[in-house]
Structure 1
Amino acid sequence: MPSQPIGPVVVGVDGAPWNRVAIEYAAREAEQRGTGVRLVHVIPTPVPRPPLPPVVPAAVRSAGLGILQHAHEAAHTVAPTVEVTTGLARGPVVEALLRAAEGASAVVLGHGGDSSRARLWTGSTLTGVSARAACPTVAVPASWVSASRHGRVVVGYHSPQHSDELLTPAFEEAARRKAELVVLHAWTVPSGYADVIEVRTHADDRRRTALAEIESQLDAFEATFPEVSVRVEVVHGQPAHALVAASRTADLLVLGRGRSLLPPRHVGGTARAVLREGACPVEIMPSSLHSDLPELTLEEHGALLP
């Protein structure tokens, strides 16, 4: 991404089978961006569990170095000309990966989809890093195959507010990959009965309004990236379902993360679901909270809270 500092692509590795796809993705990305790969393994903090014998620190370190060595070989095989460095870290996994990702152009994590171990990784490490990293976080599913190129980047569009933060990297990725860019907006009404009525009575109006709004946002980007073919899709349905379906024919899915003024930060329910179920690499873009945000007003049932 030209607008991002060209730091290394950081990859979290833990010896799991799905590390392979993350390493391959990161190595190819680093090669295209003209940067290096930084492989990071976090050594777990030993917890005594009598009557089991205590874990020997030297043995843990040796195992970690072995994981990094295998990862280094895998990255070098994919991109022999890319500089690959490794690092052992200690402490809580999310905190350690966030420290390693400082100054990175992206942090890449693999996950195994539906397995119980994968859900643990996705539910904690992946979402934790995605919610707090200062750089983009890319989740690569174990089923991803780099050779299966669709020539399509999909970006999930929510609203005009802060849309530049999402559309800029999406256009840059599509240009770099020489791919079509699909701007996908999905809408639904929270109440089931109201949704049925809305679809029957105002679906066309909603679609026209959304198309006009999105296309007005795209004018400047299309002038800057004339080589990128853009298609806007407005669909009725749950956003997570629509995005997961779109990921099956995409090379990359770009999403923004949940925006929170106060900690703890979060990726948002839609992004969390897509991280877990997406069929292609999913890139979560960091958000920036601007100092000119309006003062926070709290309401309950339409009445201001004291």
Structure 2
Amino acid sequence: MRTTAVGNVVVGVDGSRCSLRAVAAAAMEAERRRVPLRLVYAVHPDDDPGRIDAIIAGAARVARYSTTGRSGLVITVTLTDQPPADALLGEAREASVLVLGEGGAPDKLGPVASQVHREAEGPVVLVPLTTGRAG
């Protein structure tokens, strides 16, 4: 396992609320580390190009609003036709940290998060949909 944090902060994006929470956390971490933020989206055969553009634009907007704006955060995008977990695991090999939403139901990881958490060679941050606080 790599211990030097020099690569991008990588975050999985799928347009869900949970993935947008992960984008916010990843953007703050990228700003703190002063490294680029890489948004990774696994394209499905049925995806509409307009939908993909909207998801990426929304994620970039969340990233920008989540940071101070003083760091000049660089955001890059990877669109891939690989299965989501495979794409994230591949990107994680060169990342300082991989961030993704937990997905699934409360207290249960979704299938992508579960596989990535189990197989990643570097650090993984799992962001829950909710903070767990009673409101």
Same fold (TM over 0.5): yes
Distance 1:273 1:171 in 2: 23
Identity in percent: 29
User: 2:6 maps to what in 1?
Assistant: 150
| 1:289–1:280 Cα change, 3 Å | closer
Letter in 2 for 1:168: A
User: Would you identify which runs of 4 or more consecutive aligned residues in structure 1 move more than 4 Å?
Assistant: none
Which residue of the other structure, out of 259, 265, 270, is the alignment partner of 2:104?
259
1:269 to 111, 115, 129: 111
Amino acid of the structure 2 residue aligned with 1:166: A
**Structure 1 equivalent of residue 34 of structure 2:** 178
Which AA in structure 1 matches 2:55? E
Alignment partner of 1:243 out of 88, 93, 110: 88
1:160/1:217 contact within 8 Å kept: no
Contact preservation (8 Å) 1:254, 1:283 = yes
Distance in 2 between residues matched to 1:208 and 1:165, nearest whole Å: 22
- Higher radius of gyration, 1 or 2: 1
Distance, in Å, in 2 between the alignment partners of 1:268 and 1:157 is 14
Deviation at 1:225, TM superposition (A): 4.1
**1:89-115 deviations in whole A, cap 9, x for unaligned?**
xxxxxxxxxxxxxxxxxxxxxxxxxxx
**1:4-31: CA deviations, max 9, x gaps?**
xxxxxxxxxxxxxxxxxxxxxxxxxxxx
Q: CA deviation at 1:232?
A: 1.7
Structural RMSD (CA): 2.4
Cα offsets for 1:224-274 (capped at 9, x unmatched): 44321101222112101101100111010001112326xxx3111111111
Consecutive unaligned residues in structure 2, runs of 5 or more: none
Give the secondary structure class of the aligned counterpart of 2:108. Answer: coil
Matched to 2:2, the amino acid is V
Q: For residues 166-221 of structure 1, give each alpha carbon's deviation from its aligned partner in whole angstroms, at most 9, with x where no partner exists.
A: 12211110011111100111133xxxxxx5xx6xxxxxx74453133321342253
Q: 1:146 to 1:269 in 2, by over 3 A?
A: same
Partner of residue 233, structure 1: 78
- TM (norm. structure 2) is 0.80
How far does residue 282 in structure 1 lie from its aligned partner after superposition?
A: 0.7
Q: Distance between the aligned counterparts of 2:20 and 2:12, measured in 1?
A: 12
Alpha-carbon distance between aligned partners in 2 of 1:220 and 1:273, rounded to the nearest angstrom? 26
Highest relative contact order (Cα 8 Å, sep 6+), 1 or 2? 2
* Distance 1:185-1:254 versus aligned 2 partners, 3 A rule: same
The alpha-carbon distance between structure 1 residues 220 and 274, as it changes in their structure 2 partners (threshold 3 A), is closer
Flag the 1:174–1:269 CA change in 2: closer, same or farther, 3 A.
same
Structure 1: segments with no counterpart, 5+ residues? 1-143, 189-194, 199-204, 291-306
Q: Which residue of 1 aligns with 2:51?
A: 209
Is residue 222 from structure 1 mapped to residue 67 from structure 2 by the alignment? no
Whether the aligned pair in 2 keeps the contact of 1:151 and 1:177 (CA below 8 Å) is no
Question: Residue 21 of structure 2 is aligned with which of 155, 165, 176?
Answer: 165
Deviation, 1:160, is 4.0
